[in-house]
Amino acid sequence: MPSAWTKLLNTLQIKADYSIKPAGLKWRSNTLFIVSTVAIGLFTDLFLYGLIVPVLPYMLQDRVGLPKDQVQSHVSGLLAAYAAASVVFSPAAGIIADKVSTRQAPFLFGLASLLAATVLLFLGKTVPVLVVARILQGISAGFVWTIGLALCLETVGPENLGKTIGTIFSFISVGSLAAPTLGGVLYEKTGYEGVFGIGAAILIVDFLMRIMVIEKKTALKYEVDDPSTVSDLTAAHEREAREREESEQNQDHEAQQQNGSVHGSEEEPLLGGKTPEDSYYKLPQPENMSGLSKALPILRCLGDPMLLTALLVALVQAVLLGSFDATIPTVASDLFGFDSLKSGLLFLPLGVFDLILGPVFGWCVDRYGTKPVAVIAYGFLVPVLILLRIPHEGGKDQIIVYAVLLALCGMGLAGIGAPSIVEAGAVVQKYYEVNPDLFGDSGPYAQLYGLSNMVFSFGLAVGPELAGELRQAIGYGNMNIVLAAVCLLTSVLSFAFIGGKPRILRRSKRNTFMPRKRA
C-alpha cells in the first residue's frame, strides 16, 4: 500500500511510480490543458517582456539617473541583452529537452529564471543589475519557447500544428498587446509596485499550470503494462500521417488503374526504387559525421534553402518586433510629448489585429500552405512601413495617423508567425522520415525549435540596436524604409523557396527535383 508521501510525489510528478495513477491524470494530460499550459507559459514570457518596455525609458531616468541623451541607447541595449541570452541558451534547451525523459523539469527551470529576473527588475537601481535581470529573462525565454513548442507539436501532431500555433500566437499576442499598455498605466498610477505586482500574480498562475501538466507520453505509461514501450509521440503522429497518405495514394493509384489512366510519372519510384525526394533529403549516416554534427544533426539540415528561408521569416519577424519595442515609446515622447501611460497605449493598435487575425492566418497556413501567407503578409508590410515616415510633430490628427499605421503593421505581423514554425517543422519532418536513425527516438524537434528560437532571439537582439542606431543616424522615416526593404526581400525569398520552388522558377521538371508543396 503506497504511503501518502509517495502519492504526493507521484501526483506532483517528482518521482513517478507508474503503478499508481496521479490525481487528475485524465484532465492534466488532456490536449486542451497541455496546449493551454504552453500558451500561458509563452504568454507569461511575452507579458513580462512587454510589461517593462514602456517603463524602461522612465526607469532609466528616474531610478538609475541617466541623462536623456543616453536613454535610447540603453533601452536598446537592455532589450538586446534579453535576446542575446536567449540566443545562447535556446540550443542548450533543445539538447536538454531531447536528453531528458520528460520536458516538465526544463519547463519549470525556465519559470524559475523568469522569477529571478522579475525580482531583480523590481529591486534594481543600477544598469548592471538591470542587465543581469534581462539576461535571466532571456534564459527563461530560451527554455520556455523551445520546450513549449516541442511539447505542443508532440501533443497535437504535425497536421494540426498550423491552426494550433496560430491560435496560441493569437492568445499570447494579448501579452504583447496588453503588457506595454498595462505597464504604462500601472507605472503612471502606482509606480513600480503595481507593475511588478501584476507580474508576480501571473507568475503564480503559470507555475501552478506547469507543475500540474502531464505530458501525453507520460500519461500513456500509466495505461500500459510495460512503460518502456511508450515511444515518442511525434514519431507516432508522423507514422500515422504517412500511413494515411500512403493508403490514400494507393487508393488513387488503384482507381486510376481501373480507369486505365495510369502512365509513367517522374515522381513515382521505378521498380520499387527510391524517389527523387528520398535522395534530396538523404543525409550521411552518423558514423560519417563529425563530432558537432553528430551531436546536433539538425545542423546538417541547414543546407536546405527552404529551412533557411523559414528561419529568415522568423528572424525578420523578430527584428520588426524589436524595432517597434525600441522606438515607439521614444518616438511618441519626441513627437507627441507622451508619458509612459500614453506611450503604452500606442501598442494597442499594433497588437489588436494580431489578436484577431492570428487564428485566421494559422488556418490559412494549414489550408493553403505556408508560401501564400508568408509572401502576402511580408508584401503587405512593405508599403505600410514606408508610410510610417508620414507622422510628424503635431496634435490629434498626427496621433491618429500614427495609430492607424501601427494597426496596419499589426495586420501584417499577424500573418508572419505561423509560416516559419510550420514550414521549418515540415522540412525537418522529411529529413526525419528519410533518416530515422540519425535523429534517434526523440526526433529532431526540440533541436529545431531551439535553433528557431535562437534565430528569433537574435532578431530581437538585432532589432532594437538596428532601429535605435538607424533612427539616430538617418531618422525614423528612413529607418522604416530600410525595414520595408528587408520585408520586400523576405517576401521574394518566401515566394522562391518556402514550400519548395514555385512552378514558374523550375527550369525543367525532368532535370530538377524540388519537394512538393507542404502545408
Residue 203, classified by CB atoms within 10 Å of its CB into exposed (0-12), middle (13-18) or buried (19+), is middle
Asked if residue 242 belongs to a domain, the reply is: no
pLDDT at site 286 = 63
% the chain with pLDDT above 70: 76
Q: How far apart are the first and last CA of the chain?
A: 51
pLDDT at site 378 = 94
pLDDT for 391-403, tens place per residue?
887 778 888 999 9
pLDDT at site 508 = 44
Measure the CA–CA gap between 504 and 514, rounded to whole angstroms: 12
Asked if residue 265 belongs to a domain, the reply is: no
pLDDT for 442-455, tens place per residue?
667 777 878 887 88
pLDDT at site 486 = 95
Q: Of the given ranges (43-52, 204-213, 354-363, 497-506), which has the lowest mean pLDDT?
A: 497-506
Residue 290 has pLDDT above 80, yes or no: no
Supply the CATH number for residue 330's domain. 1.20.1250.20
pLDDT for 81-132, tens place per residue?
887 788 788 888 877 776 776 777 788 888 888 888 888 888 878 888 888 9
Buried b (16+ CB within 10 A) or exposed e, 360-387: ebbbbbbeebbbbbbbbbbbbbbebbbb
For residues 383-390, average pLDDT: 92
Asked if residue 370 belongs to a domain, the reply is: yes
Q: Of the given ranges (67-76, 149-158, 262-271, 470-479), which has the lowest mean pLDDT?
A: 262-271
Confidence of residue 269 (pLDDT cuts 50, 70, 90): very low
- Phi and psi for 36 in degrees, rounded to 5? -65, -40
CB–CB of 81/135 below 8 Å? yes
**DSSP states of 214-278:** --HHHHHHTTSS-GGG---HHHHHHHHHHHHHHHHHHHHHHHHHHTT-----TTSPSTT---HHH
For residues 149-171, average pLDDT: 75
Residue 267 has pLDDT above 50, yes or no: no
Confidence of residue 493 (pLDDT cuts 50, 70, 90): very high
Measure the CA–CA gap between 391 and 336, rounded to whole angstroms: 10
Asked if residue 166 belongs to a domain, the reply is: yes
Measure the CA–CA gap between 77 and 463, rounded to whole angstroms: 11
CB–CB of 99/48 below 8 Å? no
Residue ranges making up the domain that contains 354: 19-216+299-505
Residue 210 has pLDDT above 80, yes or no: yes
Measure the CA–CA gap between 267 and 276, rounded to whole angstroms: 7
Asked if residue 415 belongs to a domain, the reply is: yes
| 340 conformational bin, left if phi > 0, alpha if psi -120 to 50, beta if neither | alpha
Measure the CA–CA gap between 55 and 196, rounded to whole angstroms: 11
Amino acid at 181: T
Read off the C-alpha cell for 120.
531583480
3-state SS, one letter per residue, for 332-378: HHHHHCCCHHHHHHCHHHHHHHHHHHHHHHHHHHHHHCHHHHHHHHH
Read off the C-alpha cell for 284.
550521411
pLDDT at site 90 = 81
For residues 292-309, average pLDDT: 80
Asked if residue 164 belongs to a domain, the reply is: yes
pLDDT at site 302 = 85
CB–CB of 180/47 below 8 Å? no
| 337 conformational bin, left if phi > 0, alpha if psi -120 to 50, beta if neither | left
> How many of the other CB atoms lie within 10 Å of CB of 88?
15
At residue 464's C-alpha, the angle toward residues 459 and 466, to 5°, is 85
Using the 8-state DSSP alphabet, how is residue 21 labeled? P
Those residues whose C-beta lies under 8 Å from the C-beta of residue 363, and which sit 6 or more positions away, are: 162, 163, 166
Confidence of residue 512 (pLDDT cuts 50, 70, 90): very low
CB–CB of 478/330 below 8 Å? no
Please give the model's pTM, rounded to 2 decimal places: 0.70
Confidence of residue 322 (pLDDT cuts 50, 70, 90): confident
Confidence of residue 349 (pLDDT cuts 50, 70, 90): confident
Confidence of residue 270 (pLDDT cuts 50, 70, 90): very low
pLDDT for 455-467, tens place per residue?
887 887 788 778 8
Residue 376 has pLDDT above 90, yes or no: yes
3-class secondary-structure state, position 1: coil
Mean pLDDT in the chain? 77
pLDDT at site 263 = 45
At residue 84's C-alpha, the angle toward residues 82 and 87, to 5°, is 115
Asked if residue 113 belongs to a domain, the reply is: yes
Measure the CA–CA gap between 221 and 161, rounded to whole angstroms: 24
Those residues whose C-beta lies under 8 Å from the C-beta of residue 118, and which sit 6 or more positions away, are: 48, 133, 196, 199, 200, 203
CB–CB of 22/198 below 8 Å? no
Work out how many domains the chain is built from and give that number: 1
Using the 8-state DSSP alphabet, how is residue 302 labeled? G
Asked if residue 243 belongs to a domain, the reply is: no
pLDDT at site 494 = 92
Residue 109, classified by CB atoms within 10 Å of its CB into exposed (0-12), middle (13-18) or buried (19+), is middle
pLDDT for 3-29, tens place per residue?
655 555 555 555 566 667 777 888 888
Measure the CA–CA gap between 417 and 355, rounded to whole angstroms: 12
Read off the C-alpha cell for 159.
497536421
Tell how far CA 134 is from the center of its chain: 19
Read off the C-alpha cell for 314.
522568423
| 268 conformational bin, left if phi > 0, alpha if psi -120 to 50, beta if neither | beta
pLDDT for 220-265, tens place per residue?
777 766 555 555 545 554 555 555 555 655 665 565 555 554 444 4
- 305-336 vs 370-387: helix crossing angle, rounded to 10: 30
Using the 8-state DSSP alphabet, how is residue 60 labeled? I
pLDDT at site 519 = 39
